[in-house]
Amino acid sequence: MKSVLKILGILLAAGIIFGAGYLVSMKQKSNVPPPPTVDYFKGAGSKDIAALQQTEQRNVIEVKPGQLIQDAINKAQSGYLIRVYPGTYKETVYIDKDNIYLQGIIREGQWPILEGEKTRNDAILYSGNNMVIENFKIMNYKGNGIMGQAGNNFIIRNNYIIDTGVYGIFPEFGTNGLISHNILSGIEDAAIYVGMCDNIDVLYNEVHSSVAGIEIENSRHALVEGNYVHDNTGGILAFITPGLPIKTCYDVIIRNNFVINNNIENFGEPGSIVASLPKGTGIIIMAADEVTIENNIITGNQNAGIVMTDLNFIAHITKDPESEPNPDRIVILDNIMSNNGSNPIDELKAYKVANLVTTPGIDIVAIGGGSGSCIRDKNKYITVGLNNYSQCQSAGTGNIISYMLPEPAPARDTKTEDRGKLIYYGICSGCHSYNMRMIGPPVMTIQALYKDNPQGIADYIAKPVHKRTDFPEMPPQDYLSEEKRLEVAKFMLSIDK
């Protein structure tokens, strides 16, 4: 019976049709939660967005080849719909206004293309609230495809993102968002990277040929469902990264995903955390808590199918006394797993020997500390290190349709929040933690270099000079005003943890 279920699962994975970013069966489509309501939807509540697009009148700006998308953004006011027609647009788009709907028009298979030419850092940066970005092909940028900078209530869907540098889709420090029906490939860190966010759904995306497929980092209340994650170095990750302003990662559901053949060589930036990710791992839970793994098809991952580990998983990681280092209260329910662990790394081979496991392969492995975890039926899988896992009594997560909020999250208000802190959380902390190397040097190093000189940091932010060959070149952040750059510089010099 077990073999029959595995075969059926693999056939099901092969039978899903992917087209224009839509990785979803008809049954799955019916379960897609409504997008967040936003101000320009006039309080429509849970009404379907497609119906609103047809019936609601709003101001429209059209962008056609030879024009700039940024010019349309500059002209737009709250509630505007910006339609971008097929063509190639060589620019970076900054959206610092609320209630903007940026919509690509696809005609006869032709997309609007944002082309970075490997000279531009980012394709789309948004800091506004209540944002929709859909139907773009984005390629050949050095930094990010779509990055959210502390914007709440966002929808990022049906985009095709190829070789955009460090991250593909990267909401940072945002609340209440939907990332769905995107196709991403060729990303040197995480293709979909949810950083320090709350109430996020990541649904029905296809992610491949990247170092990390989908990463939920220092975030809470995240649903990762119905995604096809294949041929990456690592598939789906739920992590705590020490040294970030948000110290926890918990309440994550990983269900109904296809996690297959994540065995490619790691091409992450040397010295970064992700560069230490061993190839061949389907799902990795590092120090995150209250993670449920349910009804996934996990096959062909040569290191292991699922790994639960503490922060010792990354050898050079710096400890943070405010981040508890163990994965606690992990719940593993019914998953279809086969042909995992055929070529584990040496450390896992030794761990198997130490635990007297002689069966070929590894489906599930727990390393290091942690408490309160359970597995429904350990005998269905090849497991290592699960001696302290109890038998789960959970009925599953079927009662949770979405983690998005029933009403929009309040917009961030720079009048009541420290603007320097908000800019650091929403922009800088994605590359600069306090005491640990990420993409850029730690804040502690920056403080040592620029003690009592916030203007020096502000000037560098606008026009960085590539001084250290062991770090990638920092892109200019000159779209930030001089006042904002100085405020974030002062805040960075004040951080002490």
CB 125, CB 91: distance < 8 Å: no
Residue 36: predicted pLDDT: 39
Spatial distance between the Cα atoms of 87 and 154, rounded to a whole number of angstroms:
25
Structure tokens belonging to residue 259: 């996690």
Phi, psi of 318 (to 5 degrees): -85, 135
Residue 316: predicted pLDDT: 63
Helix-helix angle 482-494:419-426, to 10 degrees: 80
Place of tokens 């960075």: 492
371 C-beta neighbours (distance < 10 Å), count: 11
pLDDT digits (tens, 9 = 90+) for 379-417: 999 999 999 999 999 999 999 999 999 999 998 765 556
Phi, psi of 143 (to 5 degrees): -115, -70
Residues in CB range of 86: below 8 A, 6 or more apart: 65, 105, 106, 107, 110, 111, 112, 113
**Which pTM does this prediction carry?**
0.86
Structure tokens belonging to residue 79: 């509630």
131: left (phi over 0), alpha (psi -120 to 50) or beta: beta
pLDDT digits (tens, 9 = 90+) for 124-179: 999 999 999 999 999 999 999 999 999 999 999 999 999 999 999 999 999 999 99
Place of tokens 């005998």: 379
The one-letter amino acid code at 385 reads: G
Structure tokens belonging to residue 103: 């919509």
pLDDT < 50 regions, the chain: 1-56
Complete DSSP assignment for 255-293: ES-EEE---PPP-SPTTSSGGGPPTTEEEEEEB-EEEEE
Greatest Cα pair distance in the chain:
68
Structure tokens belonging to residue 224: 């990762």
Query: 423-456 burial string, b = 16+ CB within 10 Å, else e?
Result: bbbbbbbbbbbbebbbbbbbbbebbeebeeebee
Residue 425: predicted pLDDT: 73
Residue 5: predicted pLDDT: 39
Secondary structure of residue 3 in the 3-state scheme: helix
Residue 22: predicted pLDDT: 36
Phi, psi of 452 (to 5 degrees): 60, 25
Query: 236-252 burial string, b = 16+ CB within 10 Å, else e?
Result: bbbbbbbbbebbbbbbb
Residue 54: predicted pLDDT: 44
Residue 414: predicted pLDDT: 58
Residue 314: predicted pLDDT: 67
Residue 357: predicted pLDDT: 86
CB 305, CB 283: distance < 8 Å: yes
Q: Which of 477, 483, 466, 350 is nearest to 419 (CA)?
A: 483
pLDDT digits (tens, 9 = 90+) for 242-258: 888 899 999 999 999 99
Q: Which CATH superfamily is domain 419-494 in?
A: Cytochrome c-like domain (1.10.760.10)
Residue 43: predicted pLDDT: 34
End-to-end Cα separation, the chain, in angstroms: 53
